[in-house]
């Protein structure tokens, strides 16, 4: 699989071949990536030649992101680590479910391999009941979370709205006058937060000449040609994105919305978005380690997909959300913020986008995916299988890191979502 170009520290891939090595065959330890002192040339993985985002090399890269790209720390603070007791349930491996649109049963254990799982943690009622790591990942190592990052910053903006520091119905250019002449200018904060902003911008994968490629070069995480004359920062790029259509009409997933939100957070709070995330959330969770986020040019972070953390710490964040903002002895977020996230967005706007017909009845709200299913599940999701799935009624949180060869969740939702539902249903029946 060949790398074509980068997006906010996230390379965009060409179409995957019809066949590729399975999880065991592509295990980075089996293949020997970056082993030896020095590693032999054929086993080296580098950023500058794009090898770090070729499959199967990225099965190593996703767990070594900080060794390949610049990052900035999101501090855990100085307090003690919060408890997540381990009461493992060996019966989970044998749970059986049917993948979507099939009558062929699959076990939970088999699904982990099918989905190229790097690590997974299941928390029930505040206790870890399942935890496994594979390949290059272990409990102490941060892993790239990709677009799960969006939900973190969406939660921050939702909190600032609740505190009346931001007016959800105000135009973006009332906070960021630099965007007055762009397509963002007359969009409301709420429309950007729910990705119903109408912009002449598409995230077309696999094409070196595209809006997405231009954005990546402007952010500074994609190589710029020697004759490059485009925007020198993501801020300059965002100011030139044209409007196309009517704001609020249709949900269209665009990473540049999140970059605007990170800029908005920094402008309103008077400090970087990553420092706000650390101060308001990460330093209060009792996390086991600092988190990190990829850094572009002009001090801009990869707010749309550059977050790295330990898996158990991501689970802690999810558990805090499940508990309506209360965790580690603190009310970290107002309960009303979580309730608003769970309320969901416009079903009409979501349904207008044919790309999400595989998620009927879902919506996107405050940068979270809301299923509107009877079990109440909502999620933060990222490419290649990153995810944080919250089941409030079952008191379950599932955090997963993965390195599936295909980027889009549509390629593995069939063997992921029913598996998660089965585990949540099983645990809901345990006292």
| Three-state helix/strand/coil letters over the chain | CCEEEEECCEEEECCCCCCCCCCCCCCHHHHCCCCCCCCCHHHCCCCCCCHHHCCCCHHHHCCCHHHCCCEEEECCCCCCCCCCCECCCHHHHHCEECCCCCCCCEEHHHHHHHCCEEEEEEEECCEEEEEEECCCCCCCCCEECECHHHHHHHHHHHHHHHCCCCCCCCEHHHCCHHHCCCCCCCCEHHHHHCCCCCECCCCCCCCCCCHHHHHHHHHCCCCCCCCCCCCCCHHHHHCCCCECCCCCCCCCCCCHHHHHHHHHHHHHHCCCHHHHHHHHCHHHCCCCCCEEEEECHHHCECCCCEEEECHHHHHHHHHHHHCCCEECCEECCCHHHHHHHHHCCCHHHHHCCHHHCCCCCCEEECCEEECCCCCCCEEEEEHHHEEEEEECCCCEEEEEEECCCCCCHHHCHHHHHHHHHHHHHHHHCCC
Question: pTM for the complete prediction?
Answer: 0.94
pLDDT band at 12 (very low <50, low <70, confident <90, very high): very low
Q: What percent of the chain has pLDDT over 90?
A: 84
- Domains (ranges, CATH) in the chain? 3-59 (no CATH), 156-256 (1.20.58.710)
pLDDT digits (tens, 9 = 90+) for 188-203: 999 999 999 999 998 8
pLDDT score, position 232:
87
Q: What percent of the chain has pLDDT over 70?
A: 94
- Indicate whether 180 pLDDT > 90: yes
pLDDT digits (tens, 9 = 90+) for 107-138: 999 999 999 999 999 999 999 999 999 999 99
């Amino acid at each position: 699989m060949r790398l074509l170009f980068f997006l906010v520290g996230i390379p965009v891939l060409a179409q995957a071949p019809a066949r590729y090595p399975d999880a065991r065959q592509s295990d980075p330890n089996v293949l020997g990536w970056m082993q030896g002192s020095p590693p032999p040339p054929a086993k080296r993985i580098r950023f500058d030649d794009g090898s770090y985002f070729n499959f199967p090399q990225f099965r190593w890269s996703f767990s070594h992101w900080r060794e390949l790209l610049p990052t900035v720390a999101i501090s855990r603070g100085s307090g003690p680590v919060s408890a997540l007791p381990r009461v493992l349930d060996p019966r989970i491996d044998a749970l059986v479910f049917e993948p979507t649109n099939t009558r062929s049963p699959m076990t939970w254990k088999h699904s982990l391999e099918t989905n190229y799982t790097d690590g997974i943690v299941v928390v029930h009622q505040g206790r870890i009941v399942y935890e496994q790591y594979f390949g290059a990942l272990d409990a102490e190592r941060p892993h790239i979370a990709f677009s799960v990052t969006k939900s973190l910053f969406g939660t921050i903006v939702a909190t600032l709205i609740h505190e009346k520091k931001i007016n959800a119905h105000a135009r973006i250019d009332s906070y960021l006058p630099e965007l007055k002449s762009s397509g963002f200018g007359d969009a409301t904060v709420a429309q950007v937060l729910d990705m119903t902003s109408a912009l002449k911008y598409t995230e077309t994968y696999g094409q070196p000449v595209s809006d997405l490629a231009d954005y990546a070069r402007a952010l500074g995480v994609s190589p710029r040609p020697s004759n490059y004359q485009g925007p020198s920062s993501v801020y300059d790029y965002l100011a030139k994105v044209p409007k196309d259509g009517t704001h609020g009409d249709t949900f269209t997933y665009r990473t540049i919305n999140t970059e605007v939100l990170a800029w908005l957070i920094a402008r309103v709070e008077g400090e970087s978005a990553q420092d706000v995330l650390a101060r308001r959330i990460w330093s209060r969770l009792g996390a086991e380690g600092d988190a990190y986020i990829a850094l572009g040019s002009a001090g801009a972070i990869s707010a749309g997909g550059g977050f790295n953390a330990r898996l158990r710490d991501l689970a802690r964040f999810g558990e805090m959300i499940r508990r309506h903002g209360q965790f580690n002895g603190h009310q970290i977020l107002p309960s009303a913020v979580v309730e608003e996230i769970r309320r969901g967005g416009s079903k009409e706007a979501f349904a207008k986008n044919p790309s999400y017909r595989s998620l009927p009845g879902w919506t996107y709200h405050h940068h979270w995916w809301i299923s509107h299913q009877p079990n109440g599940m909502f999620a933060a999701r990222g490419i290649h299988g990153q995810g944080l799935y919250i089941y409030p009624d079952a008191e379950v949180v599932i955090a997963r890191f993965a390195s599936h060869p295909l980027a889009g969740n549509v390629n593995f939702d069939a063997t992921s979502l029913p598996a998660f539902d089965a585990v949540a249903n099983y645990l809901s029946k345990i006292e």
